[in-house]
Structure 1
Amino acid sequence: MAIPSLPEQTRTPPSPRALERFNTAPSDEVGQTLLTCLNSPRWADRIANHRPYPDIDSLLAASDEAAYDLTPGDLAQALAGETLPVLPEGAYSAAHTALSAASAAYEAKFGHAFIICLDGLSQAETLNHVLAGIRSRLANDPEEERVVAAEELRRLARGRLVAHLRGAGSRAAGHNKAAHGN
């Protein structure tokens, strides 16, 4: 699950030194790191092969562009690497039951785990956001949901990349099981 991060305006941006390390790291190391941000070799290769980036904004723009260019097969592969968001500690059992039921319906309809980016939300907002999101998105047709899921993947990848560069790993890193063992 995307662990809620601090609101956008209060987040500490990655340091120029972090970008320098990213730009100069061995390709295989960068590739593996990028795959923990988004399970798409095509996306990871595009980001890695366009190094060096002059600044963080350029790297994030490249990340967004590469995510927008995912083919349906790339998208399916990236979605396969995701897991259902985990509710925050202390969520009541009825919420777990509701999320499990909605998740089963979602996976049956769309063939992949429900994903949602929770960056910028407080712990208190997470539960309602996840449950409202999954319920509303169940009304989507498959093509409409593909577009929404692709946008959520783009946002997750961006947040995970920033988290990696900040050295925060799992803080805003989302809910990719490959990255975090979920």
Structure 2
Amino acid sequence: MTNHPHALAALDALAAADAAELEGILLEVCSSPRWAAAVAAAKPWSDREALLAANAAAMASLTAEDLRDAMAGHARIGRPIAGDAASEREQAGIRGVDRTVLDQLHEANAAYEAKFGHVFLICATGRTALDMLAALRERHPNDAATEAEIVRGELRKINDIRLDRLLDTL
């Protein structure tokens, strides 16, 4: 990603926000309070890459409880939150999909949630419903520790996309 003047101005505006406002903005990106605090503590960010590096560092430091907080802000795959633009945009790959595929997604989600105790999390941007279903089935045999690290990586990717979008819209 390049640092256009608009992105640099957006970074400055974000860094200049008071603590409560910045926390609210960051919690819209990721619902983990610890993540939001860690990213905020890294300000001011010199460029887009510095903000994304703050995301990566914050994600790497999250505990299992923090990861649960972060996952709590995400809809189940195949069931975007109605009226939530981010959820609907990120899960655009399920629009118009055959009901049979949606039923398979719901069944696979239920089995995953029963095993791991949380929603299946994947960076759904640019993925089709069949891609997400295949990934869900592929990851279901993982042990909890392996899956937690995959989730951490997927959350980082989602946050990167959301932070990029935030900078482009500020």
Q: Give TM-score, length-normalised by structure 2.
A: 0.84
Output the amino acid matched with 1:52.
P
Match of 2:38 among 27, 35, 46: 46
Cα deviations by residue, 1:26-46 (Å, 9 ceiling, x for unpaired): 111111111111111111011
How far residue 113 of structure 1 moved from its aligned partner, in angstroms, is 0.7
Go from structure 1 to structure 2 and tell me whether the alpha carbon gap of 1:148 and 1:14 turns closer, same or farther (over 3 Å shift): farther
How far residue 88 of structure 1 moved from its aligned partner, in angstroms, is 2.3
How far residue 14 of structure 1 moved from its aligned partner, in angstroms, is 6.3
Match of 2:26 among 26, 34, 38: 34
Cα deviations by residue, 1:8-31 (Å, 9 ceiling, x for unpaired): 89xx99621111111111111111
Go from structure 1 to structure 2 and tell me whether the alpha carbon gap of 1:146 and 1:13 turns closer, same or farther (over 3 Å shift): farther
RMSD between aligned residues: 2.1
Match of 2:150 among 137, 148, 151: 148
Output the amino acid matched with 2:145.
E
Unmatched segments (≥5 aa) in structure 2: 79-92
Q: Give TM-score, length-normalised by structure 1.
A: 0.78
Q: Alignment identity in percent?
A: 36
Go from structure 1 to structure 2 and tell me whether the alpha carbon gap of 1:13 and 1:37 turns closer, same or farther (over 3 Å shift): farther
Pick 1 or 2: higher relative contact order, CA cutoff 8 A, min separation 6. 1
- Indicate if the aligned counterparts of 1:14 and 1:162 stay in contact, CA closer than 8 A: no
Q: Distance in 1 between matches of 2:66 and 2:6?
A: 28
What is residue 166 of structure 2 aligned with on the other side? 164
Structure with the bigger percentage of helix: 2
How far residue 118 of structure 1 moved from its aligned partner, in angstroms, is 2.7
Output the amino acid matched with 1:38.
C
- Indicate if the aligned counterparts of 2:123 and 2:158 stay in contact, CA closer than 8 A: yes
What is residue 175 of structure 1 aligned with on the other side? none
What is residue 100 of structure 1 aligned with on the other side? 106
